[in-house]
Structure formats: C-alpha cells, structure tokens
Structure 1
Amino acid sequence: MASLATHFSAFVLFFPIGIRRLLSSSSMYLHNPSQFRSKLWYFSDPKWKNLDLYALLVALPIASFSELFLFFSFSGHPTYRFSFFQQSLTLLAFWVLVILIFVRDYVGGTLLLNESFVFLFGGVVFLLEYSVIGKGVSGIAGAVYGLLSGLTLMCAFSCIYLSVMPCAFFAEFFLSSGMVFKGTWLLQVGFSLYTDAFGLNGCQNVSPFLALPQNEDVDVHCDLVEDSLRGAALMQFLFSVHAILVLVLAVGVFGVLASNRNLRYGEARGPLLAEIESASLRMRGVLPELEME
C-alpha cells in the first residue's frame, strides 16, 4: 500500500462502485420499499454500459500479478515483501468475487451459486482484506490503516447481513456508504502519507525498497515524537471530516432522489424493476388460489 499510485487505484475501485450502488439502491427502495431487494451488481441496460464491471475483470488480475511479481523480485524488508504477497491474494479474491457476480447475473444462478452465497463470499473477501490492512506497520501509518480497517469491517458485516436479509436497505446503505468512505479515505491517506506536497509536517515517507532495520516496520518516519503525535491527531481529525462529508453526501443523495422521481437512477426505471414487479404480480395471483384451497 506504500505509494500514492496504489491508493489512487483503490480509490478508483471503491468510490465509483459505492456511488453507483448508493444511487441505484436508493432509487429502487424509493420506488417501492416493500419490494426492495439488494442486488450483487446494479446492471445497466443495454449491457455494454456496464464498462466498470468489464474493467474490473481485466484490471484486478493485472494488479494481482503485479503485486505477485514484486513479491518475488523484492529483496528488502521482509514485512514489506510479505505484504506484496498478501495484497496479491486479496486482489485475486476480489477478482473471483467479480467473476461470481458476472456468472450469477449474466449466465444465471444455480442452487449453490445464488445471491446469498455471493454476498457471503463478498463478506469473506472484505474480512480477508481486513486481515492484511496495515499488517506489521506501526506509527502513524498503523493508526491510519487501523481506521481503514474499521470501514472494511463495516462492509464485511453488511455483505454478510445481506446474504441473510437481502431486503434490508439499511445494510445496503451501510455497504454503499462504506465503499464511498473507503475510497475517499484511501485517497486522503495516499496524499497525506506518500507525497511531499501534502505530507505531514516533520514526517516523511519511508520507501519499502530501502533497506530497513529489522525492528523498524514503518511507512512514515517522523523526526520528533511531537511530530508523530501531531500527525496522528491530524489524521484522526481528517477521518472525522470524511465521515461527516460522506454522511451528508449519502443522506443528501437519498433526499434528492426522494423529492424528484425523474432523477432516480439505473434499474429503478429499467428491466430489473419490471422483472421484480412481474414477480410480485405472479405472487399476488398465486396467493388467492392458495386461500381458496
């Protein structure tokens, strides 16, 4: 994780997906709350508009193999070397999750490959990411990644809850908002810890390709203890600012969609909604027959 490029890539992964899920799920819920059911992916119609899903299918394995290449070629500090391998496995797990979503919604689900299983697998993938975030890193970076791990846990538990209760909009809301929050926070961490222009006063990035002592597992080195404490306090303050902004954004999006039907997004006006409504009508046709019997 020790570079601006990797943090920006993670921002590009999480932020757009979180925004799209927030818009689509809120639109569907507002159309008919009693019929809401969370989806693995909110597809567009026609299918070629789902360029983000196709991009993930291509980009994630490339990123995973790149991390694996660094693992085999890197000869520096063992903590950093092993982190490349962990990150490679995590990216590969997210790639498998995208493949499952693709197969489930494009080819059709089976008894085993249903939405509940894929949501559960998504929760496991987020837990895997949680287990490798900031692994073995101390100092300011360790505290910052500790905050990030809390967001990852929120996404994991939301996925697990949706695997049991797919009609729970609050879990979908937490999942979408958590992904948006993860994206913005990763971008903030990349600028604050791994750039000179936006870096913390008195602290500097420690390159993982430099030879470090065995007992120094840090991404950011501060000259004085006061600089380290001030930097940690500033990052906690920025985390609170991000939390407020994401909350205002999520609630604001929901409020705007609730007040204006024409702005509702994606599948709230597409073929999936028609499919849900037809299924509801079929159920209404079945229920009277069961009551007569």
Structure 2
Amino acid sequence: MGEMMYKLFASASLLTLGLYHLICTFFHLLKSPQSYAAKPFYPFPRLSSVTGNNHHNHNRLQNLPLFILILSLFVAFLHETLISFYSDPLVKGSTPVHRFSSLNSAAVFFLFLIIAIYYLLSDSTSLIPLPSDLLFALASVGFFLHYSAASSSAAIQTSDLQAHCDSLSARISALCSLLCLLLACRSRLFIADAALAAAICLQGLWQLQTGLSLYVDGFIPEGCHRLLDVQSGVEGSTQCDIQDSKLRAVSILDLMFTVHVVLVVILIFVTYTMVVMAAGVRRTGSYEALPTNNADSNHIQMKSLTGTQA
C-alpha cells in the first residue's frame, strides 16, 4: 500500500507540473510569438492591482509551482533514502544491491532538488540567477542520470513486469534529457518545450499505471501474482510464472503505454484550445500572398495604370 500511495503522489505531482508548464508554454507563445523563449520555470502572472501588504503574498503565489516541485522532489528523495534501509531479498543480488540502487535514485532526486532550491533562492534573493540554457543543461544531466538509474533498477528486478515498467519509464526520462539538451542549445524551439511538458505528463500517467499494474490486485494481469518472501515477510511487486502469462502481461503494458501516449496527445489539443480561448486569440480570414518576383509585380502595376487611364 505504501508503494501505491507513493506512485499516486508522484503521478499527481508530475501531471500537475507538466500540465502547468504546457499551459504556460502555449500562453507565452500566443501572447508574444516574436519574443518567445523557453523557460525552465514559469511563475504565475503578476497582477497589476497588487500593492502594499499583498505584494509579498503575491510573490509567494508566483513561486507556488516551484514550491510544489521542491516538495515533490524532497518527498521522492526521502522515500528513496528510507527504503534503502529496508531489506529486499526479492531483487537480484538481494538487499545490498537494493540499497545501492535506491541510494542512486535518491542522489538523482537530490540533484534536481539542489537545482530547484537554487533557482528559488536566486529568484527571491540577491543571488546571481543561472541562465536558462545552463538550467536546461543541468536538467538534461539530471534526466539522463534518472534514465540510467531506472535502467539499472530494471536490470536487477526479478519481476519481469516491474522491469518492463522501469524500462519504459527510463525511456521517457531519456526523451526528457534530449529535449532539455535541445532547449539548452536553442531556447526558441517551441516544439521541444511543448514536448518536454507532454513527456512529463506522460511520466506522471505511467507512474500511475505502474502502481496499478504492480500493486493493486484488481489491475494485476491474469496469470500473475504478487511476490512474497516468506522468511522476511517482504512483499514485492507482480510476477508471472508462466511464459504465456508473462508475454501477455508485457503486451498489455505496451498497449497501456500507447494508450497513455494517445491521452497525452489529446491533452495537448484540449489544452491548446482552452489556452487560445482564454487568451482571446481569434482566427483571421484567409488571404492571398502578394507576388514576389518583379515580372508579376510589373504586370500588376501596368494593369492598374491601364485601368486608371481608362
């Protein structure tokens, strides 16, 4: 139950942050397309009517998404650190391997936590803020380390289903790392910024699916069961003993992953439509492009002069 609660928390945090970043990306592009540049963090917009005592409270409200990010990273770091002290004989190499694998994941979350805290301090104090391209580069390193940690975790799992879930999660982190690297090189690349937000939403949905498939009896594929070490009383994730059941369960996970990708694409369309409506952008009528070559231009001028003389 504890692992499922953590998966729910991780899913809610990632979905919230990813959707918020997606909304801000679309809104920023629609309001100022000429000066658009990707940002690692979008604060809440300032209110022109904020004065006096409300100014300090509004500054806190501006950084609310950053506070949520820091809280989520701290919980993730604390979770991985605490579970490293528990024995887990259900992984390859038993408890020592589990301990170092958990500490590796905790170190990755700690790196993200340091970056987020420094960004918050530099925004609210006199610290020199880091350039956006450097922040995206650091985020790219963090996502790559998370990809490496998730891949290593998948390699030591005795549960084929958990290994497959961790492997797909690692691929999403690898995609996020690549997108952050692109944004570090070209901050005006809107498609990379929107894709990064969508990938974070996909990671949130996949964390939810992982928790349901591994820890909730009603969602465990047919022919599979929960692992249990009788001597230590440690209960693990889901295992399929029969090869046919294993292949069927992996195919179901692949199908669900594709379904989540489709859901994220639909979320992009819905979010963009709602942002366009909220921003008050109206579609203009169609127009014909003016000719660019000299021959067509001279032809139009002569035709206009002929009509005038007539």
> Which TM-score bucket, shorter chain as reference?
0.7 to 0.9
Percentage of matched positions with identical amino acids: 22
The corresponding residue for 1:24 is 24
Compared with structure 1, are the counterparts of its residues 208 and 162 closer, same or farther at alpha carbon in structure 2 (3 Å cutoff)? farther
Mark the CA change 1:254 to 1:62 in structure 2 (over 3 Å): closer, same or farther: closer
Equivalent-residue separation in structure 1 for 2:228 and 2:109 (angstroms): 22
SS in 2 for 1:205: strand
CA distance in 1, matches of 2:43, 2:262: 29
| Alignment partner, residue 115 of structure 2 | 97
**What's 2:4 paired with?**
4
Q: Which amino acid aligns with 1:67?
A: E
Identify the residue that residue 137 of structure 1 maps to in structure 2: 157
Q: Is 1:69 matched with 2:69?
A: no
Matched to 2:143, the amino acid is F
In the alignment, structure 1 residue 115 sits paired with structure 2 residue 132: yes
Q: Which runs of 5+ in 1 are unaligned?
A: 213-217, 264-293
Structure 2, unaligned runs of 5 or more? 47-57, 282-310
TM-score (norm. length: structure 2): 0.74
Moved more, 123-132 or 48-57: 48-57
| Equivalent residues of 2:10, 2:72 under 8 A apart | no
Distance 1:75 1:243 in 2: 32
Cα distance in structure 2, aligned partners of 1:170 and 1:131: 25
Change (3 A) 1:110 1:57: same
Indicate if the aligned counterparts of 1:193 and 1:200 stay in contact, CA closer than 8 A: no
Match of 2:64 among 47, 51, 54: 51
Q: Which residue of 2 aligns with 1:42?
A: 42
1:241 aligns with 2:259: yes
Contact 1:8-1:187 at 8 Å conserved across structures: yes
Matches of 2:239 and 2:112, distance apart in 1: 31
Residue number in structure 1 paired with 2:14:
14
Which of residues 200, 212, 215 in structure 2 aligns to 1:191? 212
Following superposition of structure 1 onto structure 2, how do residues 103-252 of structure 1 map, counting pairs within 5 Å?
103-107=121-125, 110=128, 113-134=130-151, 135=153, 136-137=156-157, 139-206=160-227, 219-252=237-270
Taking structure 1 as reference, are residues 221 and 211 closer, same or farther at Cα in structure 2, changes over 3 Å only?
farther
- 2:220·2:238 contact (CA, 8 Å) conserved in 1? no
Is the Cα–Cα contact under 8 Å of residues 137 and 219 in structure 1 kept in the other structure? no
Task: Please state how far the C-alpha of 1:155 moved relative to its aligned partner.
Answer: 0.9
Quick one: distance in 1 between partners of 2:231 and 2:12?
28
Paired amino acid for 2:260: H
**In 2 relative to 1, CA 211–226 (structure 1 residues): closer, same or farther, beyond 3 Å?**
farther
Cα distance in structure 1, aligned partners of 2:162 and 2:125: 43
Give the conservation status (yes or no) of the 8 Å contact 2:43–2:65. no
Alpha carbons 1:181, 1:242 under 8 Å: kept? yes
- Give the secondary-structure state (helix, strand or coil) at the position aligned to 2:239: strand
- Quick one: distance in 2 between partners of 1:30 and 1:162? 19
CA displacement at 1:23 relative to structure 2: 0.3
CA distance in 2, matches of 1:178, 1:210: 41
Please identify the structure whose Cα radius of gyration is greater: 2
In 1, the alpha carbon distance for the partners of 2:122 and 2:144 equals: 22
Do 2:80 and 2:102's aligned partners in 1 also have CA atoms closer than 8 Å? Answer: yes
Distance change (3 Å), C-alpha of 1:207 and 1:58: farther
The TM-score, its normalising length taken from structure 1, stands at 0.78
1:154 deviates by 1.3
Instruction: From the superposition, tell whether residues 114 and 207 of structure 1 become closer, same or farther in structure 2 (CA, over 3 Å).
Output: farther
Q: Which has the higher contact order (CA 8 A, sep 6+)?
A: 1
Where 1:72 maps in the other structure, the secondary structure is coil
Shift of 1:261: 2.0
Q: 1:241-289 deviations in whole A, cap 9, x for unaligned?
A: 11111011112212332355249xxxxxxxxxxxxxxxxxxxxxxxxxx
Q: Which residue of 85, 91, 101 corresponds with 1:83? A: 101
Structure 2 counterpart of 1:38, which letter?
Answer: A
Aligned amino acid, residue 60 of structure 2: W
- C-alpha contact (below 8 Å) 2:4/2:211 kept by paired residues: yes
Amino acid at match of 2:135: V
Cα distance in 1 for partners of 2:231, 2:268 equals 42
- Kindly provide the amino acid, as one letter, of the partner of residue 74 in structure 1: S
Aligned amino acid, residue 81 of structure 1? R
Question: What one-letter code is carried by the residue in structure 2 that aligns with 1:169?
Answer: F
Partner Cα separation in structure 2 for residue 252 and residue 65 of structure 1: 35
Contact 1:41 1:101 in 2 (8 A): no
